[in-house]
A and B are shown apart, each in its own frame.
Chain A
Amino acid sequence: MPDFSILTENFDIYLHGFRNTILASVIALLGSFAIGTVIAVFRITPIRPLRWAGAMYVEFIRNIPLLLVVFVFFYGLPSLGITLSGFVCGTLGLMIYTASFIAEAIRAGIMSVPKGQLEAAQASGLTYVQAMRYVVLPQAIKIVIPPLSNQSLNLIKNSSILGVFAGLDLMYFGDQIASRTYVTFDTYIFVALFYLVLTLPLSYMARQLERKLAKSG
Chain B
Amino acid sequence: MRKKWMSVSFMLFVISALVLAACGGGSGNGNGNGNSAAGGESEAGASLLDEIKSRDKLVVGVKFDTKLFGLKDPASGEVEGFDIDIAKALAKSILGDENKIELKEVTSKTRIPMLNNNEIDMIIATMTITEERREQVDFSEVYFEAGQSLLVKKGSPIQSVEDVTSGTKVLAVKGATSVDNIKEIAPDATVLEFENYQDAFSALKAGQGDVLTTDNSILYGMMAQDANYEVVGEPFTDEPYGIAMKKGETALVEAVNEGLAALKSSGEYNTIYEKWIGEAPSE
Contacts and interface: CB of A to CB of B under 8 A. Distances in A.
B194 A83 contact: no
Given A175-B174, A179-B175, A83 B193 contact: no
B74 to A, nearest CB: 27
B41 interface: no
A86 B202 CA distance: 13
A75 interface: yes
For chain A, the bracket of interface size reads: 10 to 19
Chain A interface main SS type: helix
Nearest to A76: B206
B195 interface: yes
A83 B180 CA distance: 27
B195 A164 contact: yes
Given A175-B174, A176-B174, A179-B174, A166 B207 contact: no
A166 B192 CA distance: 6
A74 B195 contact: no
B203 A176 contact: no
B206 A78 contact: yes
A33 interface: no
B203 A75 contact: yes
A176 B193 contact: yes
A179 B179 CA distance: 10
A166 B175 contact: no
B42 interface: no
A86 B193 CA distance: 11
Interface in A161-182: 164, 166, 172, 175-176, 178-180
B270 interface: no
B156 interface: no
Chain B interface main SS type: mixed
Contact of A86 (B174, B175, B207, B208): B208
Contacts of A75: 202-203, 206
A172 B174 CA distance: 9
Nearest to A79: B206
Contacts of B171: 166
B97 to A, nearest CB: 47
A133 B171 CA distance: 52
B232 to A, nearest CB: 22
A205 to B, nearest CB: 34
Nearest to A164: B195
A83 B206 contact: yes
B181 to A, nearest CB: 13
Most chain-B Cβ atoms within 10 A of its Cβ — which of A79, A83, A166?
A166
A176 B172 CA distance: 12
A175 B281 CA distance: 36
Contact of B208 (A78, A172, A175): A78
A93 to B, nearest CB: 15
A42 B154 CA distance: 48
Contact of B194 (A85, A166, A180): A166
A164 B192 CA distance: 10
Nearest to A83: B207
A175 B192 contact: no
A78 B174 contact: no
B193 A166 contact: yes
Interface in B190-208: 192-195, 199, 202-203, 206-208
B203 A166 contact: yes
Contacts of A74: 203, 206, 208
Interface in B142-161: none
Contacts of B174: 175-176, 179
Interface string B168-182: 000100110000100
A188 to B, nearest CB: 14
A86 B192 contact: yes
Given A74-B206, A83-B208, A166-B208, 6 more contacts: A79-B206, A83-B206, A164-B195, A166-B194, A175-B174, A179-B174
Closest 6 CB pairs of A and B: A179-B175, A166-B192, A78-B206, A75-B206, A78-B207, A83-B207
Interface of A: 74-75, 78-79, 83, 85-86, 164, 166, 172, 175-176, 178-180
14 contacts: A75-B203, A75-B206, A79-B206, A83-B206, A86-B208, A166-B171, A166-B194, A166-B203, A166-B208, A172-B193, A175-B174, A176-B174, A179-B175, A180-B180
